[in-house]
Amino acid sequence: MSNDKRKVYVVGHKNPDTDSICTAIAYANLKTKLTQIKHEPRRAGQLNEETQYVLERFGVKVPLLLSDLREQIKDVDLRESEEINGNLSIRTAWEKMTEMNTHTLPITRDGMLEGVITKGDIAKSYMDVYDNTMLAKARTQYRNIAAAVEGKVETGNEHGYFQKGKVAIAASGKNLMTRFIEKDDLVIMGDRVDAQQCAIDMDASCMVICQGYPISEDILRQAEKKQIVVIRTPHDTFTAAQHINQSIPVRFFMTRENLVTFHIRDFVDDVKEVMARKRFRDFPVLGNQGKFVGLVSRRRLLNVKKKQVILVDHNEKNQAVDGVEEADVLEIIDHHRLSSIETMGPVYFRNQPVGCTATIVYQMYEENGIAVDAVNAALLCSAIISDTLMFRSPTCTPLDEVTARKLAEIASINIEELAQEMFNAGSNLKGKSAEEILFLDFKQFTVNDTMFGVGQVNSMSAEELKEIKERVLPHMEKARKNHGLNMIFFMLTNIITESSELICCGAEAREKIISAYDLQDDAEILMLKGVVSRKKQLVPTLVGALQQ
């Protein structure tokens, strides 16, 4: 893959929310304009209903999924190869290998891999003993025969195939020739007219005249009438006989069964393991619909290019796309607490104590003198509405609200109307399983040796929150065990009353919440009044309680 085709991924966290998706889209647009390098927004998980509504409303395509940042074969600079047909002679194949300084040629038809031929296969063809019908068995094309003996087709169909008979040398008199020359044979001979006439009389399929001797018009006329191919070569009989086997098509020797191939999306680590068990130098790589795209070798894997990525709306490793530690992280744009992302080198890191990453991204548009278009303005505005619960969240700063209102003006949208529709869409969980609801907006954290996760659902309806609780609560313990967590907390946030009911599971989970928020020990319902922000109000309190 050449450098001009390289791209930078811009991606948010797993279990993406509206901020992580909309910010990735808008920031990718800004970076592409600033750098002239393709920045592509991606998602790290399934979209929630609210985010889907926002993208549909403003006519924006859902970003493609980015599930792993480990290097793949598509990140390797593959050796490309022209389409080489199975009819190619082994002589020409050898010449191409020498010219291209390679030991392997892929044999393809209409882009599909049919087999591979190696220098070892060709060398083996010279060492093995074949009978004199080998050229016919291999259905060798006459023009390949002419090329192998460096000759010229004087008459006959050079595109035809020698597919019957044997190869014979006319080194004896006419009487003896009639005993071993048969119909459809290929006969190598010199300038003796009687031998040439005998080959015609015996209905040979091809005559190879050596040492460049002239051929009489009568012989050529008779050969043409009987559709006999006549080839004239400058070589002597011995050399012609020696070279003629080089005309055999590569499909006769190529490997077609049990080919070791890789797909362009295979991970480099997995490919290395397979290569270590095989003796081949080069391996074919297939793309979509099984099309051949190139060859990969061990040496080329050494120069694999890491995926380049910009992380938005998170800086915690367990929230990031799998394999982030193997990627080249260029930037991190976030508004959360500092956490566990480690990078190989220095990166541009921007973290501000605001209510939404979209607020920071709009600042960057302004700082760089780039006008945000109406669609990206709408996306950024939607992200702020979502993350700040339309300015009700304690994480919301005056800058968030001012920014949202600017963006709403650019996009010609009504904030209150958009917020109502977004929250209604987000709380519409019909058809979703308890597992899906629990992990729609879920983030995982680690404090000392304790791993816990916090999910959240927002609604403007107390009745709907009650229904969600009844569906999710029985599933939580199973989900906790399946995901290897010590504790799970789930916030049922009522946007209207600006409060959250908390349900939880795991050893001491309930006790930690009661202690942290000074609730009644016998409280049946863990109601946190004024708590609507996971980031600012719940997680810091939980972290403090777990650290004690």
DSSP state of 372: P
Torsion of CA 294, 300, 301, 306, to 10 degrees: -90
What pLDDT score does 39 carry?
97
Give the mean pLDDT of the chain: 90
What pLDDT score does 126 carry?
72
322-333 residue pLDDT tens: 999 889 999 999
- Above 70 in pLDDT, residue 543? yes
**Per-residue exposure over 63-90, b if at least 16 CB sit within 10 Å of its own CB, e if not:** beebebbbbbbbbbebbebeebebbbbb
Q: What is the mean pLDDT of residues 239-257?
A: 88
Taking the complete model, does pTM exceed 0.75, yes or no?
Answer: no
Integer Cα distance of 341 and 88 in angstroms: 54
Identify the band that residue 1 occupies on the pLDDT scale cut at 50, 70 and 90.
Answer: very low
What pLDDT score does 177 carry?
82
269-290 residue pLDDT tens: 899 889 888 888 889 999 988 8
- Above 90 in pLDDT, residue 417? yes
Coil, strand or helix at 348: strand
78-87 residue pLDDT tens: 888 777 888 8
161-212 residue pLDDT tens: 999 999 998 877 677 788 888 899 999 999 889 889 999 999 999 999 999 9
Domains annotated for the chain, with CATH where assigned, are 3-71+306-426 (3.90.1640.10), 90-252 (3.40.1390.20), 434-547 (3.10.310.20)
What pLDDT score does 263 carry?
94
What pLDDT score does 130 carry?
65
91-135 residue pLDDT tens: 888 888 888 888 889 999 888 999 999 888 888 777 665 678 888
Torsion of CA 83, 89, 92, 93, to 10 degrees: 60
Query: 181: closest CA among 162, 163, 167, 164?
Result: 167
138-167 residue pLDDT tens: 899 999 999 999 999 999 999 999 999 999
What pLDDT score does 128 carry?
62
Identify the band that residue 4 occupies on the pLDDT scale cut at 50, 70 and 90.
Answer: very low
What pLDDT score does 133 carry?
86
